[in-house]
Amino acid sequence: MDRENNKREMGLNLDIEIDSNSGFCYGVIRAIKHAERFLVTNNKLHSLGEIVHNNREIERLGKKGMDIIDYNSLSNLKNDIVFIRAHGEPPQTYILAKNNGNKIIDCTCPVVLKLQQKIRECYNEIKNIDGSIIIFGKKGHAEVNGLIGQVDGKAIVIENIKDIDLLDISRPIALFSQTTKDIEEYNRIIKEITQRIDKKGFDPNNFKFHNTICKQVSSRYSNLKNFALSKDSIIFVSGKESSNGKALFEICKQNNQNSYKVEAIDDIDIEWFRPKSSVGICGATSTPNWQLQEISNFLSKL
């Protein structure tokens, strides 16, 4: 039996709700608006890296003229225009682009710009007292690379609580977080470092931590937990590459065993739903609203 016949037979009559807190964050909306506005009067725009980790949105923008370039292509690009996405970039990228006569459309999210500035300022102080900048984030992530670049690469990245073993806590430490990390995990890391310093009898004033998780993300974690708990099943829509998507889906899974991560309608299995059950549709900060709506339209026809 094909999917269409199956749907008609089952008559699931689902109670569907799209999470009002899901969809693109402010920084991504801003970047996409800039790009689309530019492409109204220009037929090409080179984005350094994916503007958003969502293949279908990339495809949509690709049809309008946006292409994705990497650092190799950037070094060969001359007298052209480079688009910098919301994640931000290290200073070296700006130098490389400008040295080849390129213009830059800089859509680094203002929240990330503020964090870059804070890290630079803090580094200028802490380096004089033999201290280190620590970043809680994903190694190799574009935003993290942009942050490390602010301090000439002289920052240590920790990805989880185990990585605290790598730190020299006898010296001054300034801890920052990538903007999209889980606030609860960040708090556990802060607590663990504080306890270790206390246990060893080191000066607690040498440990400074900064809450640099984006408010759009931190509020999303707690809202999503409640949303996942309130439904019989959850459809989480996200691109495979989105690290924010992976983390937010984990929240759904922890709070609702019937949580499923999909990229598009074709990934949905109607066996997941009981008749007349409630279904929540939500997604990452890189998931556009039109994709959530598409899933909702499909489920409502079952």
Residues in contact with ligand SF4 by the rule CB under 6 A: 25-28, 86, 109, 111-112, 179-180, 214, 216-217, 285
Closest to ligand SF4 by CB, 49 or 131: 49
Tell me the C-alpha distance between 26 and 28, whole Å. Answer: 6
State the catalytic residue, choosing from 89, 143, 185, 263.
Answer: 143
**Strands 81-84, 103-106: pairing kind:** parallel
For 228-265, the DSSP string reads: HHTSSEEEEE--TT-HHHHHHHHHHHHH-SSEEEESSG
Minimum CB separation of residue 143 from ligand SF4 in Å reads 7
Q: Which residues contact 184 (CB under 8 A, 6 or more apart)?
A: 221
Closest to ligand SF4 by CB, 112 or 126: 112
Closest to ligand SF4 by CB, 122 or 217: 217
Is 192 a known active-site residue? no
Strands (E), the chain: 15-18, 45-48, 66-69, 81-84, 103-106, 132-136, 155-158, 173-177, 207-209, 233-237, 259-262, 278-283
Minimum CB separation of residue 10 from ligand SF4 in Å reads 38
Please choose, from the candidates 212, 287, 298, the residue with its C-alpha nearest in 3D space to the C-alpha of residue 54.
Answer: 287
Tell me the C-alpha distance between 157 and 145, whole Å. Answer: 10
Minimum CB separation of residue 177 from ligand SF4 in Å reads 11
Residue number, nearest CB to ligand SF4: 27
Closest to ligand SF4 by CB, 131 or 245: 245
Minimum CB separation of residue 70 from ligand SF4 in Å reads 20
Q: What are phi and psi of 26, to 5 degrees?
A: -55, -45
Minimum CB separation of residue 77 from ligand SF4 in Å reads 24
Closest to ligand SF4 by CB, 28 or 133: 28
Residues annotated catalytic, as ranges: 143
